Amino acid sequence: MTASTSATTPSGTGASGAPQPGSSPSGFSRLVQRATSGSSWTVYALLIVVFVAILVMNPSFGEPMSLMAFLKKAAPLIVLAIGQYFVIVSGEFDLSVGSLVGAQVVIAAKLIDGEESMTWPVIGLMVLFGLGIGLINGLIVTLLKVPSFITTLGMMLVLYGAIRLWTGGAPTGSLTEGFRQWGRGGFPDTPGQFQVPYAVLITLVLGVVAVIVMRRPYGRTLVATGDNDVAASYSGASVWWVRTRAFLFSGFMATVAGILIGGYAGVTAQVGEGLEFMAITAVVLGGVVLGGGRGSVVAAMAGALTLEALFTLFNQLSLPSTIRPAVQGVIIIAAVAYAAMPRKSKAASPSAPTTPAGVPEPTVPKEPQPAAP
């Protein structure tokens, strides 16, 4: 990571958010500071406002059973947002995740076709398929230098076309109960009792893993690559492999989301459609900058939860579902404009030097020089 990148961090922390010598905030304080830094605090405030509005209109929403049902429904989008975060913070896009989710569900139904013994082999095949699509996307973007927008848009069309050609335009087969339990079941597995859905537990585990990854050297290198890939390369980072791994993460998360959606919603011709834009909307709603180099994975997850809560509020208000794409578009435009405002204001001031991320460099007082002998 370059010196200019590290200079953009608040006093007492490095570029990765790690404490510097001389600072002594607690671990919890550092976590809160990272989660609410920059523009990401807005998503937490919005989440609270939307939840309060839902509770006012439907007080039963706050009951444990209703809340768990909401979280189970939101889990696939949160998982997709985690994968999309890795790609976006690296400075790229992945528009293929929606079609990959749809392909995974259709493939699973056709290969399993009601045979319980095929459940785990097919799940293993789904994981390999998702990683393979992520690897192909990553290598095309990093080695062939094809823009990620074009690469993943093309992959989206290839997947949709291939699946429709294979199935004849209509999904066939069926998923087993062992497969569907991951999207519908919960713990403890006792009918009539309160359950924590498996989808929620899986999402929590993946969220914790994502936070740990972002606090490791790879995570810091990923952010540095998104901020300034040339500087990251000069510092010794293998930029092509850093970004390719981000696409691998995205492909894996899309596979998990496909398993959860297949269990929750079943197999339909429209499964997965539009999820790529919902994931991008969730990430930018969480304050992650399109273009890379800035953002929190926890805030991206909160963005997905907020978006799902917003759609739940629309249902409470009896608004048509056709309004959703317009709302997503407004959120993306507003989030990008909000993130760009500080850059514009600082760029307009010639006296304020900036880093490659567009953030002004702090003024560091000079150390007193010893007197000449």
User: What CATH number is attached to the domain comprising 238?
Assistant: 1.10.3470
Report if residue 294 sits inside a domain.
yes
Higher pLDDT, residue 344 or 189: 189
Report if residue 3 sits inside a domain.
no
Mean pLDDT of 243-268: 92
The label of the residue with tokens 């805030």 reads 299
- DSSP-derived 3-state class of residue 178: helix
DSSP state of 369: P
Which pLDDT value is given to residue 263?
Answer: 84
Which pLDDT value is given to residue 371?
Answer: 40
pLDDT at 359 over 50: no
Of 134, 156, 155, give the one whose Cα is nearest residue 255: 134
Report if residue 10 sits inside a domain.
no
Report if residue 350 sits inside a domain.
no
Split into its structural domains, the chain has a count of: 1
Report if residue 20 sits inside a domain.
no
Which pLDDT value is given to residue 189?
Answer: 66
Report if residue 241 sits inside a domain.
yes
Of 45, 132, 41, 141, give the one whose Cα is nearest residue 87: 141
pLDDT at 18 over 70: no
Mean pLDDT of 30-45: 62
Report if residue 25 sits inside a domain.
no
Task: Tell me the pLDDT tens digit for each residue of 280-315.
Answer: 999 999 989 888 888 899 999 999 999 999 999 988
Mean pLDDT of 12-20: 41
CB within 8 Å of 361: residues ≥ 6 apart: 4, 7, 8, 353, 354, 355
Mean pLDDT of 79-95: 96
Task: Tell me the pLDDT tens digit for each residue of 130-182.
Answer: 999 999 999 999 999 999 999 999 999 999 998 888 877 777 788 999 999 99
Instruction: Give me the domain span that covers residue 326.
Output: 39-338
Judge contact between 16 and 275, C-beta under 8 A: no
Task: Tell me the pLDDT tens digit for each residue of 98-124.
Answer: 999 999 999 999 999 889 999 999 999
Report if residue 343 sits inside a domain.
no
